[in-house]
Amino acid sequence: MVRRHVSLARQVVQEILTGIEAGTLARDHGMLPSEAELSQRFEVSRATIRDALSQLEHRGVVLRRHGVGTFVAPALPRLDAGLEELESLETLARRIGLETKMTDLQIEERCATAAESQALQVAPDSLILAVSRVIIADKRPVAYLIDIVPTSTLQQKDLDRSFRGSVLDLFIRRHDLHLSHSRTDISIELAEAAIARKLKIKRNDPLHKLQAQLFTRDGQVIDYSQSFFVPGYFHFHVIRQIRS
């Protein structure tokens, strides 16, 4: 039974995902029930079912074959990130043999906003370098990354052709920074229009959001980042120990 307090299509998407993951929805060869059967099962119109399946197809979850039916797509490599260890997206992907590519790179030197100044712990209107880009994996946009860095640490001229999308990896290769740790807030955020266009998803689709400050050993914040990840391609986990 689909609940009615949010978008019906979005509810059906979640119900279908749950059924696929539980192994209770797909038939032989990964074929899903027909639109009519799904409509009856979830008590919604066939138009709502078509909308939900279209969303799932766009996300690479299902394949729709005209005149045949809808099938569960082959499982894609998923980035499994333990949040106890600070690693770049590129490093995580390389570990599982997944090739990533950067696109839509935008670099700008400008004055920091009030929120950016506060996050970087610098004076208002300090000069910063803003680096935003989209990361492609398996021919699909999977992440939108934004880094805000003081120009005293990084300038536009420092990002040459060898830059592949990871500001963190660039910092790790620099021995003068003495990196210490990152403080990261994790949340689910609905995609605003501009980000939805970059990630080729619908506006208000849910995204994993990681907002982080990168610290040096002397407590200086040298990077303030916001990272938006498309669900289905990432699995974040935290290992917590029992205090003895």
Q: Which residue has the tokens 């038939």?
A: 27
The pLDDT-based confidence of 85 (bands split at 50, 70, 90) is low
- Overall CATH class of domain 79-237: alpha beta
Least confident of 2-11, 62-71, 136-145: 2-11
Q: What is the DSSP string of 173-241?
A: T-TTS-EEEEEEEEEEEEPPHHHHHHHT--TT-EEEEEEEEEEETTS-EEEEEEEEE-TTSEEEE---P
CB 244 within 8 A of CB 90: no
- Mean pLDDT, the chain, whole residue set: 86
Domain boundary assignment for the chain: 8-72, 79-237
The token pair that represents 31 in the structure block: 């074929």
The pLDDT tens digits for 87-139 are: 777 777 777 677 889 999 999 999 999 999 999 999 999 999 999 999 998 78
**For range 210-227, the mean pLDDT:** 94
CATH, domain range 8-72:
1.10.10.10
If you write DSSP's letter for every residue of 72-88 in order, what string do you get? EPPPPP-EEEETTS---
Is pTM beyond 0.85? Reply is: no
pLDDT above 70 coverage of the chain, percent: 88
